[in-house]
Structure 1
Amino acid sequence: MNELRHLLQEIRNQKPLVHHITNQVTMNFLANGILASGGSPMMAHHYEEAEEAVMAADALVLNIGTIDPSLVKAMVIAGKKAKQLGVPVILDPVGAGLSRLRKDAVQELVEQVSPDVISGNAAEIAFLMKGEWGGKGVDGDLSGNHEELALHAAAKFGSVIAITGERDAVSDGKERITITGGHEILSYVTGTGCFSTSLIGLFLAKSLETSLSACQRAAGALSMLGICAERAQAVSAGPGSFQTALLDELFRLKPEDLKTAGRWSLGGIQGGK
């Protein structure tokens, strides 16, 4: 898809500013990943500056991985301002069903901010749909039909839904894209799931001109991560060297290398597209 190639080139030319209120465990990796991919990261977390910070941003990423009440306050303030300004808001509901704090935070963000994209694993998106949490830790139960889940969740919330996993599924409630590829070693490095959300934010940046839909832009971000993961795994010895190699490959990827052939399968409510 030539438009994806042009989009990545525009990212590299413009270096969109992605404002993060995010997971403290993965913050350094997210910042380096956005820099390597061609964007510019900002990590302004306090609620007293959240509104001013988002006024300078091209996208806002909200990640509840290490949540606390003051952070929720900052997210709501920044999210509301972003929506007023037409700045895309991308929410990662990490471990959404693990605790009452997380459940309440996600509910407040969905209701008050109405994110443009909600990106998470299957357990997190299933929890938003059904209110049930399985497994232990923040991962929960990752089984089930990801494509149908993304389709129905997008229709319910009015947001693009991106479900990451062994295969990725993205939907806006009508269009549906399944992305294959990547490598299982991604699951052995903390922050790769969070980074997929940040990369979606970069691809949806307000300042970029493209005819691609938000669904296609999100799928393009996940395709880029998959391609770079495959290349990084081929030259690494394990998770430690893979993380470094992944940053290198994000930096080295040429726009013309961002191809969807063999990776995307398309569908929707009315069948194939």
Structure 2
Amino acid sequence: MIRVRDITIGEGSPKICAPVVEVTQEDILEEGEKLALSKGVDLIEWRIDFYDESSDISKILQTASLLRTVVGKKPLLATFRTKNEGGNKEIEESAYKDMLIAISESGDIDMVDIEVYFMDEKNTKDIVKSLKKNVVVVGSYHDFDKTPSYDEIIKRLCFMKSQGVSIPKLACMPQNRHDVFTLMEATQDFVSKNVGLPVITMSMGDYGKVSRVAGKSFGSAMTFGCLGKASAPGQINVDDLRAILNIL
């Protein structure tokens, strides 16, 4: 379990995170304020790769500071999703590293996402160690084409753990219903052997929607929904998501 501001990830019902995927600073702040007021949202994710000033660290830090003001006490997760893993932009390795470190040291961000396969193993482990001095680190892997095998899912989650991340996250695209259950079974087995380590997994698209609401049943500690624009296929409106989670 990990405490972030007023919520505990890995305890009780899966926490609901909603993304801000706007382009301009004005729209980012407007969407952030709207999400902060929503009772269905536990955490807010700022998708920096959609920001039109994402190549300027000073602008990113300025917007992060303003965003912190409008979201209040809700935990803020900063993510730059690379194009290779379904994001909006490409980025050089050095720029990616500098941006993550700067954001983590800003004092305005609670959690930072790092793609664990973007850099080589040693660089990733070193950066994770630096980031963890200031923020909760979500180590992530996304496959928008397919669902890895059971063994591969376990292998990737174990690799994230070995890199020292606070929370491993894996999202993949199912081709059929069996793929969804493969993800859920692998998550359950990994969680049962790693008690106390929160894990986030999800199956995307229409087939995978069940994984976004059934996290408590198979071990995923967080789910992603949306109020405005979705950041991934299959995201459910946060109000509907909250109602379903309450029923379950």
* TM-score of the pair, normalised by structure 2: 0.45
**Of Structure 1 and Structure 2, which has the larger fraction of its residues in helix?**
1
Hey, which of these two has a bigger chunk of strand by percent?
A: 2
